[in-house]
Amino acid sequence: MKTRKRELELEKHANSILKARVGTYVLAWKRGIAILTAGTVKVTPDPRVRLVNGYTLQIKDAVPQDAGDYICQIATLDPREITHHVEILSNVSLTVT
């Protein structure tokens, strides 16, 4: 997996972009125990969540309930995963560290 862990701080109602580069593997995005996507198929019923440009997860119009850990996981004999952490701030501009 060619993706690095990221910590994101988003202003309320901003759009979140979480990238994953996995080569030829199939990727799943998860939040807690909920599966958001499996391969290129969106599983979550949330209309604000979608895949763009392959396996990049986009969350539109972020709200405080979107804060937390988002996990991208590839299915191999030794499963690999990376966790991205998202925080929702108020009255602050978007920063990525």
Tens of pLDDT along the chain (97 residues) come to: 345 555 656 666 666 666 666 666 788 999 989 999 998 899 999 999 999 988 889 999 888 899 999 999 987 777 788 888 888 887 545 444 3
Secondary structure of the chain as H, E, C letters: CCCCCCEEEEECCCCEEECCCCCCCCEEEEECCEEEEECCEECCCCCCEEEECCCEEEECCCCHHHCEEEEEEECCCCCEEEEEEEEEECCCCCEEC
Model pTM above 0.75: no
- Per-residue model confidence (pLDDT) at position 38: 92
CATH number of the domain located at residue range(s) 7-96 in this protein: 2.60.40.10
